[in-house]
């Protein structure tokens, strides 16, 4: 197995999961605007520390699930429903992301950005089920095994992908607000297309399991 595959899967999974404007990346941008890039990157380091543990826990949990085929099939069925719902939502109902909402992000503490980053990341539970599904999907397609090296390569890819997006928010946020209209306007379509493709692959594997 190519050891680079888990890295790239982790990297792009993180980019897709982190790039939509949310509390963490908008707070990072706000810290950069208020206190400068250095403090913002300290905030990001706190976020990344929690993401590391969340991703590792997700993969270990996925390893347990992967050993029980009936649970894997159930999760695929649940995942199929979720991905179809996300596809319909992003393509039909989701509103355009509002980058200007960063102006309403309140940053209170100026002393320990690192711990603020840890706290905000810790209350975000989305990465755990997200990376559980990603890990199981990779295992199903034969591009990932739950061995020590591939696990840490995948986690490293997630950390690097997340840090890339956070860095872009921190460094280029002002430019993004004025020059990324096309990307912002089409973000929902791009995400909906990706979730739609994942739904198709998930359905294909479910059909193979049943027939």
| Segment 116-160, tens digit of pLDDT | 889 888 877 778 888 988 888 888 778 888 888 999 999 999 999
| Segment 82-122, tens digit of pLDDT | 778 877 876 776 555 554 544 444 455 545 889 888 988 88
Q: Which of 57-61, 152-156, 171-175 comes out lowest in average pLDDT?
A: 171-175
pLDDT band of 185, cuts 50, 70, 90: low
Number of domains observed in the structure of the chain? 1
The DSSP code sequence of 130-177 is HHHHHHHHHHHTTS--SSHHHHHHHHHHHHHHHHHHHHHHHHHHHHHH
Percent of the chain with pLDDT over 90: 22
Contact 32, 40 (CB under 8 A): yes
Higher-confidence position of 192 and 134 = 134
Range of the structural domain that residue 184 is part of: 4-210
* pTM of this prediction exceeds 0.75: no
In sequence order, which residues have a C-beta less than 8 Å from that of residue 66 and are 6 or more positions away? 72, 135, 136, 139, 146
């Amino acid at each position: 197995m190519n050891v680079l595959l888990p890295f790239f899967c982790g990297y792009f999974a993180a980019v897709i999961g982190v790039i939509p404007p949310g509390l963490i990346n908008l707070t990072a941008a706000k810290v950069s605007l208020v206190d400068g890039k250095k403090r913002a990157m300290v905030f990001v380091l706190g976020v990344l520390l929690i993401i590391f543990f969340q991703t590792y826990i997700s993969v270990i949990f996925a390893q347990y699930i992967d050993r029980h085929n009936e649970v894997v099939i159930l999760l695929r069925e649940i995942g199929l429903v979720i991905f179809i719902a996300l596809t319909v939502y992003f393509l039909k109902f989701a509103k355009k992301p509002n980058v200007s909402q960063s102006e309403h992000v309140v940053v209170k503490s100026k002393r320990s950005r690192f711990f603020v980053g840890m706290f905000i990341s810790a209350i975000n539970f989305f990465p755990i089920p997200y990376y559980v599904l990603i890990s199981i999907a990779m295992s199903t397609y034969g591009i990932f095994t739950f061995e020590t090296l591939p696990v840490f390569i995948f986690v490293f890819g997630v950390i690097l992908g997340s840090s890339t997006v956070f860095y872009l928010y921190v460094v280029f946020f002002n430019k993004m607000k004025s020059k990324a209209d096309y990307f912002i306007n089409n973000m929902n379509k791009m995400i909906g297309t990706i979730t739609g493709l994942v739904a198709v692959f998930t359905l294909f594997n479910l059909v193979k399991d049943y027939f």
